[in-house]
Every structure is written in C-alpha cells, then in structure tokens.
Chains A and B, each alone.
Chain A
Amino acid sequence: MKKIIFAICISILLAGASACYAADTVKFLVVGPMTGDSAGQGFQMKTGTQIAVDEINASGGIGGKKVEFEVADDVGTPNQATIIAQKYSLDKDLLFVLGHNNSSCSIAALPIWQKAGLPVISPSNTSASITRLGYGNYFRVITNDDIMSKQLCEFAIKKLGMKKPALIWENSDYGKGMRDVSAAAIPELGVEVVAEDSFISGVDRDYSAIITKYKGLGVDGVLFLGDYTGGGLFAKQAKNLGLNVQLAGSSSCSHPKLIEIGGDATENFYVVAPFDPFDTRPRQAKFIDNFLNAAKERPGEWGADAYDIVYLVKLAYERGGTDRESLIKALHEIELFEGVTGNFKFDEFGDVDKDSLMLVVKDQKFTRYEE
C-alpha cells in the first residue's frame, strides 16, 4: 500500500514538473525604474517590450507559444533591485529577465539572478565592469561606457574644440566608470582636464559652487557624465550664473526629459546616443512610428534595445534555447543578430560592440548631429 501511495505521489510531482515546462506561454520579467529619477527610461523599456511582444504574438508567438511579461519596479536603486530579484527568482515560470536599466542595480542583483539560473539581458547597462564580474548568465545589447565615453571625449575635443574641459560625474558605478575612462582618454587627445567634480544623483540639486569654480578656472566645455535630471539642472543653473560654455553629456542624458527640466538652457547640448530616434531606414522608421504612437515620444536606447532583446530571445528560443540553461548557450551561439539598433553578436563576456552617434538639442528637440 505504501509503495502505491509513494508511486502516486511521485507521479503527481512529475506531472506537476512536466506541466511547468510544458506551459503554453513564454514568460519573462521586465525590471527597471518605473518610478524615480530615471523613470522615463523604465517607461521606454516597458513600451519597447510591449511593441515587440504584441508583434510577435500577432504573428504566432515564439515557437507557437504566446509571449507574456511582468513588469517590476527597481526605482533605479540597488537595494530595491535586490528585493525584486529575491522575489522573482522564486518564480519558476520565468525564462529570462529583461533589465536592469541602471548598472548599479544589475551589479547588486546579479548574484541573486545567477543563483536562480536566470539569464539577464540588459538594454542599457553601460558600466564596463559588469561583464568582467564573471557572471555567466549576463548579457547586454548596448555598447559599454569604455567605448562610448571615448567616443564622447573624442567628439568633445576634436569636433567641439574644447581646450579646457571639466568633468562632472554622478557618484555611482555608472558615473565613476565613465569618469575613469574620460579622465584617461582626454589627456591622450592632447588636452588637460581642468577640473573634476562629482554629485550624488537624486540628492544634490545645487551646482552653483561648481559652476562658479568653473567660471574662475576659465573652463570652456563641460562633460556631464550622469542622469538627465542632473544634466538639465546643471544646464539651467550654468546659464543663470553666466557660464556660457559648450555642454556635452553621456548617453543617459539623451532623454527628452533633459530638455523638459533644463528648458532653453539645454540648447546646443550634445549627447552621445546608442540609437538614432530619427532613423529613416524602413525597419527602424516603422519601429519609431509605432513607438511614437504608443508612447507619444521618440524611442531612445532603452525602448529600442528592449525591443531588440525580445526578438533576440525569440531567435535563441527557436534555436533550442527553450529553458534557462540552453537559452544562455543559444544566446552565445548566435553569430549575427540584425536588430533595429544595429547588427551584433555577443563576445565571451556577453558584451556587444555597436556604433554610437551624437545628438544635439536644436529648437528644444533632439536632432541628429550631421557633419
């Protein structure tokens, strides 16, 4: 009798387990800042994902399965990111995680995601160090800061002609990484960094002391390596205090909210951007149109990269990446993915190398810089 009961229990357990794998949906998690100082970026991630999922579901899903996703809010802070990771790593139905948006969040949450064996694919983490931390489950579809910061510095010195540049950086993993690369790259271009300052994102709101110092030092250009809220406020206060110098910023400044917060002080503010929101190639133009309809704003890298990630996983899934482990393998094996943000493949660390471009604020709108 005992044996029969044991056998029944085992078969129930097995049935449950196989039912779990035989689910008729492909489910994943979008995690990013849905509120907070970078909420605009989280909103873009969600919108880009939604557009891709709707398109895929309308054309038969992934391998005949419907795609669905949940959205979690990490507020852009590492402590909240770990709470989210602990909660969702218990969800056995998730195939992968699309996120985080902020590098510091990924760094904090990755050990937890790795324990659960979940592949994590970020649309926007640019801190160069993440892919060198040794987590085999991590990928990103954006070029890291080592490369983008060098591009920004080269542009600022060679094209904008900055001779006495100052660096102001957000005191976080993201900002510190860019600061280190820029502080090394600028002297190699034959120009000295005249001043360097940091601020705490989400706390510091007053840049008057820094601006006054720059005026005294005769700074002729400022590289702002931080979020768009800080970038907008800095531009506005610099204008008020009469620091009329060329401003250029990192990719996280390439958001329309920079202009909303900074107003006309952001005119001629240059930013490095991994995605061109004015691209006219047919596939890109169609995506941008759909995004504009859904979000009433043009997509930045957050929206476009999230869109690409869903299609990237579709390709990997169709090539045998149907569970967490095989998906990681399949992602590494993709030899070329053609996305709206460019063509790429992953290196052994989960990094990509895509071209970036420069955007500039003209008439209170971002436009593509053309030589």
Chain B
Amino acid sequence: MFLQHLINGLSIGSVYALITIGYNMVYGILELLNFAHGDVYALGCFVVLGLVTAGIHPIIAILGGVVSGYILNILVERFAYRSVRFSGRVTPTISAVGVAYIMRNAILKIWGPETYPMKLGFRGTQLHLGGIVVGTLQIYIFIAAISFMVIISLFLKKTKIGQGIIAISQSIPTAALLGVPVNRTISIVYGIGGALGVIGGILFCAYYDTIFVGIGFALGTLKAWMAAIIGGVGSLKGAVIGAIMLGLIESMVAGYVSTLYKDALVWLILITFILIRPQGFFPSQIAEKI
C-alpha cells in the first residue's frame, strides 16, 4: 500500500503545486504575504461554475475564469497594495487579509458556502497497475504543474518583461532607474499569479468533482504558503517540490499515523522544518538586497 500512498501524495501535491506557482511568484518578487491569493482565484473558479451552469462550453468558461482571475488580481494590486507598497511589511499583509474577506464574502453572498458538483467534462479514467490505482487526470495535473513551472521559468529568463520582473525583485528603485516600467510590470506579475491560481483551482475542482468556498483559503492560500515555505520563497522549482512534499506528508500522516491529528502533525512538521531550514529547500537564486 506504500506505493498507493505515494501516488495519492503525488496527486494531491501536484494540485497544490499549480496553486503554489502563482502564489510564490508574487511572494518571491514583492515579499508580500499574499493572503488574498486563494480567495481571488476561488472567485475566478466560481465564475467558471456560473458560466458552465449558464450553459456555456467548459473550455470557454475556463478561459473566462482565467481572464477574470487576471483582471481581479490586477484590480486588487492597483487599489489594495500599490498605495501601501512602501509602508513596511505589515500594512500590505493586513490589506491582503481585507481583500481576502471581501472576495470570500462576495462568493458567500452569490453562491453561499455549499458544495456544488463541478461538471467540466474531463473526468479521466482510472488505470489499474497491479493493485495500484492511478487516475489519468492525476497524471495530467502532474504534467500541467511541471509544464507551467518550465514555461514561467523561460518567461522570466528569456523575455524582456521577465527580466524586468527579476530586476524589480532585486530593487524597485534601481529597476525604475534602468527604465523598467515598475507599476505595469508588478501589475503583470499579479495578473499572471491570479490567472495561474484559477488554472490550479479549476484542476483542483476537477480532481474532486466539486467546488466550494473553502478551495480559496483553507485549501488554497494556506497550502500554497506552507508549500512555499518548504520549497523556498520565490523559487518556482521550490514551489513545485515544496507542494509535492506537502502532499506526500499529508498523505503519509493520514495513512500511517492518524487522521484525527493529521493537521496538527503536518503543522508540527512544518514548524520543525522552519526552525531547521528557514530558507526552504531551494531558496530563490536572486541575491538578497544589501
């Protein structure tokens, strides 16, 4: 059964990974604990639910959700973070918590907290390999996580905007002096973060065939943040590996130790990890500001 637990952990981990990539991009570049990430993409996912329920083709509905995630996060950045960008670390964090509550309450107002079946049409099948069960959807999600990691890495390394983003993460004033359009670039970072979040959220919903408001904070922001801590803040590779490790830890603890104390034990492991290796497995390659 160990192998099956391993597969389960990898599957949950890949779902977390997609969510963490977007989260970690923003986290790494602006060093802002973005507590609104999950609730923003949850709203995007509910937009998809609304469109699908209205009879729109799932592919178009998903595109609509991704675009709404992109726009939402740009708006959030413009109105909730930009004005407090240079007010230390606490103010933007509190501003983010405020945005999270606004998004969550918008979802609760429109859809309420119930669980809805999410019918997107791509359910996948189960492959039975000598007693071990692997879902094809699980494989697609794993591939999607790795692909997005590679695409975003290339985007950062090879494009002008990507280089601008890296410059900003090193020093905003210097980047501005070198002609990087700071506000526009940061907007793009947030937009991409939101869009990636919605993609991750949709795959999460597809994996469990359901959608509910908890995909935002409890299963989104919190898991992404834990994964980022394990993997390394600001590192894309770290995001993916941290998320997969988190999935594995959860799966193994629930499978071999106790479901009753699962969350407590997972947090205990995380706290111990922070004490031993606060920078995570793969700290961002960008040099610290001096």
Contacts and interface: CB of A to CB of B under 8 A. Distances in A.
B38 to A, nearest CB: 13
Interface stretch (B95-103, B194-202, B253-261): B253-261
A205 B219 contact: yes
A213 B4 CA distance: 9
Contacts of B68: none
B251 A208 contact: yes
B1 A216 contact: yes
Contacts of A216: 1
A236 B208 CA distance: 9
Interface in B79-123: 108, 112-115, 117
Contacts of B263: 200
Interface in A227-243: 229, 233, 236, 240-242
Given A209-B254, A209-B255, 8 more contacts: A35-B113, A36-B114, A37-B212, A202-B214, A206-B250, A208-B8, A209-B8, A215-B1
A256 to B, nearest CB: 12
A207 to B, nearest CB: 9
A36 B113 contact: yes
Nearest 6 interchain pairs by C-beta: A209-B254, A35-B112, A216-B1, A208-B8, A197-B259, A209-B255
A171 interface: yes
A212 B255 contact: yes
Nearest to A214: B1
Interface of A: 35-37, 39, 75, 171, 197-200, 202-203, 205-206, 208-210, 212-213, 215-216, 229, 233, 236, 240-242, 260-261
Contacts of B208: 205-206, 233
B214 A213 contact: no
A53 to B, nearest CB: 24
Nearest to B128: A242
B209 A208 contact: no
A156 to B, nearest CB: 21
A208 B113 contact: no
Contacts of A205: 208, 210, 214, 219
B113 A209 contact: no
A206 B263 CA distance: 13
A261 B210 contact: yes
A203 B214 contact: yes
Given A202-B113, A203-B214, A260-B117, A209 B251 contact: yes
A35 to B, nearest CB: 4
Contacts of A36: 112-114
B78 interface: no
A183 B132 CA distance: 30
Contacts of A260: 117
B45 to A, nearest CB: 14
Nearest to A213: B255
B218 interface: yes
B108 A208 contact: no
Interface of B: 1, 4-5, 8, 11-12, 108, 112-115, 117, 126, 128, 133, 135, 208-210, 212, 214, 218-219, 250-256, 259-260, 263
A212 B1 contact: yes
Contacts of B115: 37, 229, 261
Contacts of B256: 213
A362 B133 CA distance: 27
Contacts of B4: 212, 215, 241
A202 B113 CA distance: 9
A81 to B, nearest CB: 14
Contacts of A241: 4, 126, 133
A260 B5 CA distance: 28
Residue from B108, B219, B254, B263 having most chain A Cβ neighbours under 10 A:
B254
Given A35-B112, A212-B8, A203 B254 contact: no
Given A233-B210, A261-B117, A210 B251 contact: no
A165 B210 CA distance: 28
Contacts of B113: 35-37, 75, 202
B133 A39 contact: no
Contacts of B259: 197-199, 209-210
Nearest to A217: B1
- Which one of A39, A203, A205 has the highest number of Cβ atoms from chain B below 10 Å of its Cβ? A205
A45 to B, nearest CB: 15
Contact of B260 (A37, A171, A206, A213): A171
Contacts of A210: 254-255, 259
A43 to B, nearest CB: 10
A35 B260 CA distance: 27
A240 B135 contact: yes
A74 to B, nearest CB: 12
Contact of A198 (B5, B117, B210, B260): B260
A310 B54 CA distance: 38
A153 to B, nearest CB: 21
Most B CB atoms within 10 A — which of A36, A39, A171? A36
A242 B126 contact: yes
A242 B255 CA distance: 16
24 contacts: A35-B114, A36-B112, A36-B113, A36-B114, A37-B114, A37-B115, A39-B112, A203-B218, A205-B208, A205-B210, A205-B214, A206-B208, A206-B250, A208-B12, A209-B251, A209-B255, A209-B259, A210-B259, A213-B1, A215-B4, A236-B209, A261-B115, A261-B117, A261-B209
